[in-house]
Structure 1
């Protein structure tokens, strides 16, 4: 077997093409310039065919960056047949390894950004997120969260008129004194599990189980003040950026949350979220200051925690307030110690209003 022809040679050190003549026999591929000077002599066992596109064949040698390109149709056909019959010839494995290395490096870079970059930047990014975008995130996640809380069903919103009026009387002074950077909305849902949580965008959800569990309106006010702390600090948005990273950033860039995988991710992230001790301490401190500011007993939140937790593990389970807002002895002691200051005379709600609020889901 001997195949002769002409092609273009690249020495691997520069991009300059060199017109050459070549000859392939059973032992080697010899390549010479048009003056007859030999440029390369490659053993057949070391040859490999690299991708070159239709109508062209590209031949290289293991361990070298040089290559030979041939475009003459008849010669391409003959070389293709000859090299296919040579067991030692394969694809451009070095190129594949090189591309694979680039891909792995890119994946590693993205992973590092997700794991380290976005979480570290979350505190700085959160104040830059437009309120309108955060509102969309919260609204997109709300149906999934409420559905999970109610066992896959759509829970009823509790809107008994007298109860709604009583709820506003309880929460309006706290909202007014909180100075939240975004509008605050409050809803009560007919769910047995004692719970309260603040979604990104300023939506605070209270459950029927929580309202029934606490003994006094001041305790419910303490829980609500704590959730207002999360709203003011935008903890929900910050937690999303730390946990979901680039997916949230991409959603913010394209403005698409509803009906997309981003919405599902947001909901799942919020469902699985559990605030850190530092975040909880800051929300507790905010609740203490806020309750004091309106002349109410700041230790009421501690009493609420005792009321919610007195039934033990039954209530400290999946998506209970205690599981998503970890309670420690240090925390309850600090809340109890906050009591005893000047408090406004009389209850925060009249007995009739408290009874109406207790019945808001009926």
Structure 2
């Protein structure tokens, strides 16, 4: 069996037109050509096929050879063009597509991979949190406020606003009631931030703090709250986040961890999901710790304002009825501690049988709950 081929000797750029034939004992390929000083013999057991050739009618061969590389291969390449020989090689050489690696390569790869993962883990769990905390403290207040306003604008667009401020609720009586509630909570306290509390017309039952003293209450929270004390308790919790600069730290930490994880996982199919899942897992413990500290801050603020921390437990109970609680291993992925735990802690923080004046009177409470009625 003889066929045409081209040989690249691996020592020069020369392309040799050659003939390939089986040896007399049929145990090797004998390669001959006018430009070769002598026939080249490649034993059949040493033949390996390269899989990156564009023409399926040909086959590119090299040979297994002891080299200092991790993949022990002869640098020479033989491009076999004869269809019968190509078919014969595929049919009779089961080891043709074997991937050869030097002994110990797997262990070396595992050690290097482990080292790389350890470096990434150190970046994410140690360096990025420390860097985010440092940067949050160094960020000028005016820059942080501008950043927070941008975050609020993005959230408005996410919630369906066609333009900035399109979902803002600002009925005069409701606005006045909200300002009185905030003033009662913050009276005599130096927060370090000029608070900006607003209400957005959306059915979601939630509130959030953005960098720079921005606090947003969604209409759904006002609809579900059973009393003004509950809304005051939620505001106290979000003010705790503001005072601790949690939104700024979290934004910096998330940007860093997602960017780093994106470099590690790349942009392959499903890569984005893995990045977001890993980011959620990484930041869950940070968020849970921040939530617990914001709860404690809220307890102290509510007691100072003559309001019961148990009002926060009422809101958590409403959340639990609406959305359920996170149990078992999945609790680690939640950005908030378990609601049952928070309910117990809020109730325990409330002074026993201490009379209090509601956060708002009946008329003000009604005005706040209807703050979105006259919108636009």
Q: Which residue pairs with 2:141 in the alignment?
A: 131
- Is 1:145 the counterpart of 2:185 in the alignment? no
TM-score with structure 1 setting the length? 0.57
The farther-off stretch of 186-195 and 112-121 is 112-121
The Cα offsets for residues 261-283 of structure 1, whole Å up to 9 and x where unpaired, read as xxxxxxxx99x976622111100
- Is 1:199 the counterpart of 2:210 in the alignment? yes
Contact 1:298 1:339 in 2 (8 A): yes
Distance 2:316 2:305 in 1: 21
Contact 2:198 2:216 in 1 (8 A): yes
1:188 shift after superposition = 0.2
Distance 2:348 2:230 in 1: 15
- Is 1:219 the counterpart of 2:219 in the alignment? no
SS in 1 for 2:169: coil
1:309 shift after superposition = 2.9
The runs of 5 or more residues in structure 2 that have no matched partner are 1-35, 38-67, 69-75, 79-115, 260-278, 326-333
Q: Which residue pairs with 2:300 in the alignment?
A: 289
Distance 2:215 2:283 in 1: 16
Change (3 A) 1:219 1:240: same
Distance 1:273 1:143 in 2: 23
SS in 1 for 2:294: helix
SS in 1 for 2:240: helix
Distance 2:118 2:188 in 1: 45
The Cα offsets for residues 52-91 of structure 1, whole Å up to 9 and x where unpaired, read as xxxxxxxxxxx9xxxxxxxxxxxxxxxxxxxxxx999xxx
The Cα offsets for residues 240-285 of structure 1, whole Å up to 9 and x where unpaired, read as 222212999xxxxxxxxxxxxxxxxxxxx99x97662211110010
Distance 2:353 2:140 in 1: 38
Q: Which residue pairs with 2:309 in the alignment?
A: 298
Matches within 5 A, 1:338-349: 338-341=349-352, 343=354, 345-349=356-360
1:172 shift after superposition = 1.2
Contact 1:119 1:245 in 2 (8 A): no
Residue 115 (structure 1) aligned to one of 112, 121, 124:
124
> Which structure's relative contact order is higher, taking Cα pairs within 8 Å and 6+ residues apart?
1
1:115 shift after superposition = 2.7
Change (3 A) 1:215 1:273: farther
Question: How many pairs were matched up?
Answer: 243
Distance 1:218 1:241 in 2: 33
SS in 1 for 2:187: helix
Matches within 5 A, 1:340-359: 340-341=351-352, 343=354, 345-359=356-370
Contact 1:298 1:338 in 2 (8 A): yes
Q: Which residue pairs with 2:104 in the alignment?
A: none
1:214 shift after superposition = 0.6
TM-align CA RMSD: 4.0
SS in 1 for 2:316: helix
- Is 1:189 the counterpart of 2:200 in the alignment? yes
Q: Which residue pairs with 2:346 in the alignment?
A: 335
The runs of 5 or more residues in structure 1 that have no matched partner are 1-25, 28-62, 64-85, 89-106, 249-268, 315-322
Q: Which residue pairs with 2:81 in the alignment?
A: none
